Structure 1
């Protein structure tokens, strides 16, 4: 019984241009027996005889053209392919005819690698938080107003305590007292001194407000800073009140 695998193998060999003798030699080397090879060859040859001469010729031409195209695509030179075909007993005329119809591979064009120039990173300008800046400006003006008032009161109380009169009974200088019952003499003096010190008061108050605002803008722990400022401000108010009451209790000279 003919082995179908062996028959297919022999058919493929004939298509590739091998002769019966070459196929027999290859199959024997691969362990096939002479009987199996002969039966399979006879079967293949009978099939080939049944086909018409025109079909056989077309198949041979197709096989030859396919073989040439494959080897040209692989890069083998034409002369080397011709020599290989002639060694397998292909007629030179058929070879030349097949080469005339063969498809030559297009030459590969080497693509030059274009180095991509990386664009220089744009300098990103730091963005300012407008809302935050406006909030701190408002903070600065409020603190400045509070401190101006507080420092002004402090100067007012200080000038009250520095007001000096001559005691009509003893002739000695006395500070913190007034001669008039309504203390208009002291009040006029204090107001004049306060106007003369207005620039100093504004400078002190706004400088402190600016320092507080800048520190508050940059430091991370703002709650602790606010608590410290409130405590210091509380002690300052207590000092002003103490000075005020001390001066008020002795403003009128009996």
Structure 2
């Protein structure tokens, strides 16, 4: 019997943590040096496997936060879930020099290529911003001129990942616009009270449907369903709306 070869990206590899930094009080970015990494597209994810001394193992998938320029580490931003099996270890225990089993890259649908020319609308809820940040970074790396708009919903200003970088990129990356939506507490002097993303928000800060933008929505289940329905109600082509729901712990 002839067995089909397993793609190299689906094999488990041992990655080494080369850097770890906090993005917020509960979200941490890990930079991983992965031998023979084949590269990735923005929007893809990797699987992580942790194995205890008694042999018990747990696997979770995490979106890749970094763009790929042909070399360097692969970055993940992990949101801690206090009752989780994997995320508390990755946020609170892992340190530089530790090794982790990884597999990937995985995913071929929720991705953006810098050869695409359509305007892009990114809609993020909480840590759903991670794969969308990879798209923003990839656009910056390629010096792309595709118009990008990000609508980013967070509970408070302290919960926003990459806030400083996003503000800098709005200044430096022509054609990128970012709108924060705060659901519980807004910054002092913010022109709008805390609220959830609604149709008016998407209509005002997104792209009109006649421009046929590529839309990417990522966040918790309820957020993704609501945001995608809003886009359809505003006239966007459902075939141009790609969604990613995050879960697991």
TM band (smaller chain): under 0.3
* Structure ID, larger Rg: 1
Higher relative contact order (CA 8 A, sep 6+): 2
TM-score normalised to structure 2 length:
0.18
More strand by share: 2
TM-score computed with the length of structure 1 as normaliser: 0.18
> Quick check: which one's helix share is greater?
1
